[in-house]
Structure 1
Amino acid sequence: MQTGQASKTAYSAARYRAAHQVLEQGSVFRDPLALRMLGADVEDLHADAPRRGMRMFIAARHRFAEDHLAAAVSRGIGQVVVLGAGLDTFAYRNPHPGLRVVEVDHPDTQEWKRQRLAEAGVTIPGGMRHVGVDFERESLADRLRLDAPAFFLWLGVVPYLTSEAFAQTLGFIAGRAGNEVVFDYAQSPERMPAERRAALEARAARVAKIGEPWLTFFEPEEIAADLAERGFGEVEDLGPAGLAARFFNRPDVAPETPGGHVLHARRR
């Protein structure tokens, strides 16, 4: 993203979440605040119908993440950190009494979100924290202090980070036993079949044009080795086929998405 401006891809993700509520009636992921946060007309969102692949992937990654979060809360996790929060609404519809929420994002995007919350009439919960961090220029460890294990929601962020920024943030999460994380990541288009590679490259060109290029790619075996080396266990990594089997009972979900994989890992 560009300094002084809110993230454009954060807006796009919010639009996909809202469009899912309209076009699929939230069949995979229910978000009753998505439309209010976006501030778009329902009729306008019908124009998003052709973008089903990306829309359904975003719905599935949120469902996957919040299902794992609910399980973590049942095990005793008492705080969640939303990294790269954008217009994410979890903190404002939090179904877990007593679960503390920290939102972390670039200060420019946070200011934009506060404006959207006010315009939408959404109340900021008492006790919620906002932490401003530029992941490419600042260390999360310098800005965020936690006193117990936490669950990290890190969605729609990793492909836009440099490998150094990704490693630094993951290292922070790995620094406390009991921490858990869900994030999505992109496989390199060069390793994809030709038909999927073309779609990925086209989308990569679009986000690069708005100033938010994809910078980091992983293969499943690479990320698995990295997580194991950092002490993570109980890793679940779902690619397009795995997400389709779990949430759609079909193999054709989101072939063109940048974050084709979503994973959960728990620090031992």
Structure 2
Amino acid sequence: MEAGQPSRTAMSAARYRAAHQLLEGGRIFSDPLAVRILGVDEQELLADAPRRGMRVFIAARHRFAEDALAAAVARGVREMVVLGAGLDTFAYRNPHPGLRVTEVDHPDTQAWKRDRLAASGIAIPPSVRYLGVDFEKETLELPSDEPAFFLWLGVVPYLTREGFDATLAVVAAHEGNEVVFDYAQPPAHMPAERRAWLEARAERVARLGEPWLTYFEPSEIASQLGSSGFGEIEDLGPSELASRFFGRDDVPPGTAGGHVLRARRSSR
């Protein structure tokens, strides 16, 4: 990410979310503000049709996360933290009365988002707070000690392992905290076609100045979460995502290596 500029991969993720609303009618993940906040011509978004694999993966990870959030709210959670918020719109279409949302992101990306909200006429509810943090340089400090739900999508692969560990420690600090994040498996042990796609994707984001730095094997991340106090873990790999959200048994091209994981902090 270039100093003074918003995250380009945050822009890319927002574009995939918006294109899903037009090309698939939001079938997997409905976001009525996605096109509006992005400010890109709809015809331009329709031209993204060939990139279906990545588009539906991003839609699926949000659907999984917001389903998990609804269950957490039903249990009494009233704090949500969006880590690496980018142009995420949940806080501005929040259907849960009493749920407070803290958006955490790099100050440059946050300023860009505030500009986009103003330009698109999207009101900022009083339940929203903003916290500017560079995950690699600053310690995340949250405004509340209440149990919270953490939405951490499209961030983990771009962090160093040290940045990941430091942020996870904050998420694990309180009993009852819950997190949903996505991660990529290392390409080395993948079948050739899936490895080629993942390596090509990694090369593209590296050219944008935001390289992938951290990968996990499922057993590795499960072990780390367990040692951090998370006793309830649900990890959906490409096959599970395809079955649950894409209506198919095979793995769609463009989702190779992507996992979405939910973990809840239990009592130690």
Taking structure 2 as the reference length, what is the TM-score of the superposition? 0.97
1:17 and 1:132 map into 2 onto residues whose CA distance is 23
Q: Please identify, of 107-116 and 145-154, the stretch whose mean Cα deviation from structure 2 is larger.
A: 145-154
Aligned to 2:96, what secondary structure does the other structure show?
coil
Alignment of 1:123-202 (within 5 A): 123-141=123-141, 144-202=142-200
Unaligned stretches of 5+ in structure 1?
none
The answer as to 2:83 corresponding to 1:83 is yes
Q: What amino acid is aligned across from residue 77 of structure 1 in structure 2?
A: V
1:16 and 1:259 map into 2 onto residues whose CA distance is 18
Report if the CA contact (8 A) 2:65-2:151 is conserved.
Answer: yes
Report if the CA contact (8 A) 2:107-2:133 is conserved.
Answer: yes
Q: Please identify, of 253-262 and 200-209, the stretch whose mean Cα deviation from structure 2 is larger.
A: 253-262
2:105 match:
105
Deviations 1:159-211 (A, max 9, x none): 00000000000011111000000000010011211111111111111100010
The runs of at least 4 aligned residues of structure 1 exceeding 4 Å deviation read none
2:251 and 2:35 map into 1 onto residues whose CA distance is 23
2:45 match:
45
Q: Please identify, of 217-226 and 241-250, the stretch whose mean Cα deviation from structure 2 is larger.
A: 241-250
1:176 and 1:266 map into 2 onto residues whose CA distance is 10
1:13 match:
13
In the TM superposition, residue 259 of structure 1 has moved relative to its aligned partner by 6.3
1:73 and 1:40 map into 2 onto residues whose CA distance is 33
Taking structure 1 as the reference length, what is the TM-score of the superposition? 0.97
1:264 match:
262
Aligned to 2:47, what secondary structure does the other structure show?
helix
1:223 match:
221
1:69 match:
69
Unaligned stretches of 5+ in structure 2?
none
1:210 match:
208
Identity in percent: 71
In the TM superposition, residue 255 of structure 1 has moved relative to its aligned partner by 4.0
Kindly tell me: are residues 258 and 107 of structure 1, through their superposed partners in 2, closer, same or farther at Cα, counting changes over 3 Å? farther
In the TM superposition, residue 258 of structure 1 has moved relative to its aligned partner by 7.2
2:188 and 2:220 map into 1 onto residues whose CA distance is 15
- Count of paired positions: 266
1:27 match:
27
1:112 and 1:147 map into 2 onto residues whose CA distance is 29
Deviations 1:221-254 (A, max 9, x none): 0000001111101110001110111112213445
